[in-house]
Amino acid sequence: MNNLISWLDFEKVDLRAGTIIKVEDFEKARRPAWILYVDLGSELGIKKSSAQIKHHYTKEDLLNTQVMCVVNFPPKQIANIKSEILVTGFPDQDGNIILARPDKPVPNGAKLF
């Protein structure tokens, strides 16, 4: 493996658990996407993200679901919204994203170790 990183490199990426509390259509996105509002607890609050996950998830599927998010990337302008976090996932065999999620409930804002 050529791309080994140090523990310090890993610690730079701030991955947190949060709960999706609101989902909106993102009509101005180039590819089908949702706008997610994720509650990351009292320290970080509610953050917004664009997520191209419509292939596998409806609004109803996503509400009150916990997800894992990178919270320390700079905000990114995507069409008419500013995406504040990156909701993480893995591509399926066709390249459609499956969310990365805790398999049991954890507190919003919990840090991944």
Task: For 21-62, write each residue's pLDDT tens digit.
Answer: 999 999 888 888 999 999 999 999 999 999 999 999 999 999
CATH 2.40.50.140 matches 10-99: yes
Calculate mean pLDDT across residues 55-82.
96
* The model's pTM: 0.94
16-24 mean pLDDT: 98
Within a 10 A sphere around the Cβ of 29, how many other Cβ atoms?
A: 18
Nearest Cα residue to 33 out of 57, 14, 12, 1:
57
Tokens of 49: 């993200």
- Angle CA 107–104–9, to nearest 5: 65
Average pLDDT for the chain = 96
pLDDT category at 4 given cuts 50, 70, 90 is: very high
